[in-house]
Amino acid sequence: MFRSLSAFALLLFVGTAPAADPKPTVSVVLWFDTEDYILPASDDAALRVADWLTKQDVRATFKIVGEKARVLEKRGRKDVIAALAKHEIGYHSNFHSVQPTPAMYLSALGWDEGVAEFTRREKPGHDDVKRIFGQTPSCYGQPGSSWGPQVYGAMREWKTPMYLDYGRHVGLDRKPMYYCGVFTVYDHENTLRTDLGGEKDVRKAQDRFVEVRRKLLAEGGGLVSIYYHPCEFVHDQFWDGANFEKGANPPRAEWKKPRAKTEEESRVAYQSFFDYITFIKRFADVKFVTAREATATHRDMALGRSFTPADIKAIAAGVTKGIDFQRHGEYALAPSEILFLLNESLAGKQPKGVTLSETPFGPSKAAPAMKQVVTTDASQFTRTAVDVADYFRTHRRVPSAVWLGSEAISPEAYLAALAKVVLTVGDGKPVPESLELTPAKLLSAKRVQDDNPKLWGWVIFPTDFRAPAMMELGQRQAWTIKPAIRRP
Ligand SMILES: [Zn+2]
């Protein structure tokens, strides 16, 4: 009781904190996909941008391609490496656009095989970036729109805390979120930038920034994401489009340099960017942050928490047949975490309060087809809870099928029934002697898109590329979706 009272007091405090905070702020995470390893002029572009930002006291995040890091080393560009290393370093795949890109090779793989394959192909580049820049990458984002859910499984293994990019494959109300336990800024409404064509472009971008800043401050503060590529300042065409378009994969000896901007076009591009950043800098309530800083202000307060019997009851009461995340004051819970906590409490593995140490992944396979009504008894249901608790410990994910003796049901149906049982037991009553389980739905699955051609519009994909099975796998990982709550 004491614990729940103090939790209540904390909740009240947190609940009133935003209104009491006199100064809401806007954080701007400024990031650069640093990827062009073909056009040497893009090395100088990265140097110029990094140096200028350092002089402005703005710390950006440079997501670097493994091959770009190695090429800088081979070309002896210690100056570029040192200038970039003054900023935060992220990771942007090993070869970016050399075929096959991640979505392609992941599209035919399941969860475990996909995680292992992404690690096989991409981890060496991550390690090169780490070695060459002397920093462990703070984030990852995909080449083009080459997204896949298994990437998040690999990121958890590599301990990369943030997914930072822009795309539409997965999103939660277009705000910062958690997916697979990874802090994710991806389908982010407030992703801004200026075109690089001069004053007119900059004015338009400034107006948009003012509008977004006003809206975010009114909401109590928030995050803006701004991205560029250093190569944009010097090329007239992306380096990869010139070589790997529509599935093409020429040998290195045949790689062509992309068309370059004229000196005047390049000057205007730099000036547009500098003017835009200078404009943003002048607001006292706007602060540039790195990926790691953004991750820290959105730290997952559910992890490491000990949930009291009262917490567990409130969580069970929030479960309906449409399964989704829950928000309780300063923390949010993804469906996989809700299932873990409720199951753990019924299985009695942690009688003094249940601790959540990580976000369990979603199921790796589709759920079995189940009857409209499945009946079971108290003994079987309790034994199943013990089995599911063991499954979580062994596989660290939601089971694809929950076995009531010889009958398999979906984890959604199990969670809906489990919540009712936990409420009954929480009232001091025994597990009901007879139980009926009916199908339930993972509502959050709609936050991962169905496969459609728009997802794969990147010029590097073969035009007929589709990934229906991979997007379904991504929807099963919607068990892990919840909002990322920002603390000022
Ligand atoms: Zn890129």
Q: For the whole model, what pTM was predicted? A: 0.94
Give 338 Cα–ligand 1 centroid separation in angstroms.
36
Q: Count the Cβ atoms, other than its own, within 10 Å of residue 285.
A: 12
Query: If you measure from the C-alpha of residue 105 to the centroid of ligand 1, how many angstroms do you get, rounded to a whole number?
Result: 17
**DSSP track, 186-238:** -S-TTEE---SS-HHHHHHHHHHHHHHHHHHHHTT-EEEEEEE-GGGGTBSS-
Q: Name residue 88's beta-bridge partners.
A: 61
Which pLDDT tens digits describe the chain residue by residue (488 residues)?
A: 333 333 333 333 344 444 445 689 999 999 999 999 999 999 999 999 999 999 999 999 999 999 999 999 999 999 999 999 999 999 999 999 999 999 999 999 999 999 999 999 999 999 999 999 999 999 999 999 999 999 999 999 999 999 999 999 999 999 999 999 999 999 999 999 999 999 999 999 999 999 999 999 999 999 999 999 999 999 998 999 999 999 999 999 999 999 999 999 999 999 999 999 999 999 999 999 999 999 999 999 999 999 999 999 999 999 988 999 999 999 999 999 999 999 999 998 666 789 999 999 999 999 999 889 999 999 999 999 999 999 999 999 999 999 999 999 999 999 999 999 999 999 999 999 999 999 999 999 999 999 999 999 999 999 999 999 999 999 999 999 999 999 87
- Give distance in angstroms: CA of 143 to centre of ligand 1: 4
pLDDT of residue 351: 66
What is d(CA 442, CA 363) in angstroms, rounded to the nearest whole number? 12
CB of 53 closer than 8 Å to CB of 248:
no
Cα(473) to centroid(ligand 1), Å: 24
Please tell me the distance between residue 131's alpha carbon and the centre of ligand 1 in angstroms: 21
Distance 234 CA to ligand 1 centre (A): 16
Instruction: Quote the ligand 1 centre to 242 CA distance (angstroms).
Output: 14
Please tell me the distance between residue 232's alpha carbon and the centre of ligand 1 in angstroms.
11
Helix (H, G, I), strand (E, B) or coil at 2: helix
Say which residue the tokens 């389980």 belong to. Answer: 437
Q: What is the pLDDT of residue 15?
A: 40
What are the structure tokens assigned to 73, written together?
Answer: 């080393």
Distance 350 CA to ligand 1 centre (A): 45
Residue environment code for 428-462, b if the CB has 16+ CB neighbours within 10 A, otherwise e: eeebeeebebebbbbbbbebbbebeeebbebebbe
| Cα 33 to ligand 1 centroid, rounded to whole Å | 5
Report how far ligand 1's centroid is from the alpha carbon of 260 (Å).
Answer: 18
What is the per-residue pLDDT for 350? Answer: 65
Q: With beta carbons less than 8 A apart as the criterion, state whether 54 and 106 touch.
A: no
92 Cα to the center of ligand 1, angstroms: 7
Neighbouring residues of the ion ligand 1, judged by CB less than 5 Å: 33, 35, 143
In the chain, how many H helices and how many E strands? 16, 21
- Ligand 1 centre to CA of 96 (Å) is 7
What is the CA(137)–ligand 1 centre distance, in A?
16
Distance of CA 354 from the midpoint of ligand 1 (Å)? 42
Distance from the alpha carbon of residue 222 to the mean position of ligand 1, in angstroms? 25
Compute the distance from residue 208 Cα to the ligand 1 centre, in Å: 24
* Residue 36 Cα to ligand 1 middle (Å): 8
What is the Å distance from ligand 1's center to 233 Cα? 15
Alpha carbon 7 to chain centroid distance? 29
Q: How far apart are CA 411 and CA 284, in angstroms?
A: 49
Residue 141 CA to ligand 1 centre (angstroms): 8
pLDDT (0 to 100) of residue 389: 97
